[in-house]
Amino acid sequence: MPSTGQTIADAAAALGLTADTLRYYEKDGLLLRPVPRDASGHRRYEITDLRWIELVTRLRSTGMPIRDVRRYAELVRAGEGNEPERLALLQAHREEVLRQLSEVTAHLGAIEYKIGIYEDRLAQLERIA
């Protein structure tokens, strides 16, 4: 019977992660299920696994702590009936991301201001020369 799904190397490449990261996500309970294995015991990632890992990666990239990602995965694995808890977890994370975004936007504004000062100064020097 032929294998379906992607190897760990292919999945890692497609997701922009390392194979070690994929193994860690699985070991640490961040996935929805154990990754299926082929007859020789090699992991075979299905599209649903890849989509979930992409979400986990986005949550981590936006600063969600591992414990919260793990809790979210636990809630999803538990099935229907805990949607209010899932929603609350994601809404709290969204608020934190928006707070960080606002802070970074303010920092960017300060950088833009300083760039403007230097650009104006250099333009003045060019006019004098």
Over the stretch 49-71, which tens digit does the pLDDT of each residue have? Answer: 999 999 999 999 999 999 999 99
Over the stretch 96-112, which tens digit does the pLDDT of each residue have? Answer: 999 999 999 999 999 99
Terminal Cα distance for the chain, rounded? 77
Nearest to 99 by CA among 63, 69, 55, 59: 63
For 63, the token pair is 């600063």
Over the stretch 72-104, which tens digit does the pLDDT of each residue have? Answer: 999 999 999 999 999 999 999 999 999 999 999
* Better-scored residue on pLDDT, 59 or 3: 59
* Better-scored residue on pLDDT, 127 or 2: 127
How many whole angstroms separate alpha carbon 21 and alpha carbon 12? Answer: 8
Residue 4: per-residue pLDDT = 81
Q: 3-class DSSP state for residue 78?
A: helix
| Residues 30 and 37 sit within 8 Å (Cβ to Cβ) | no
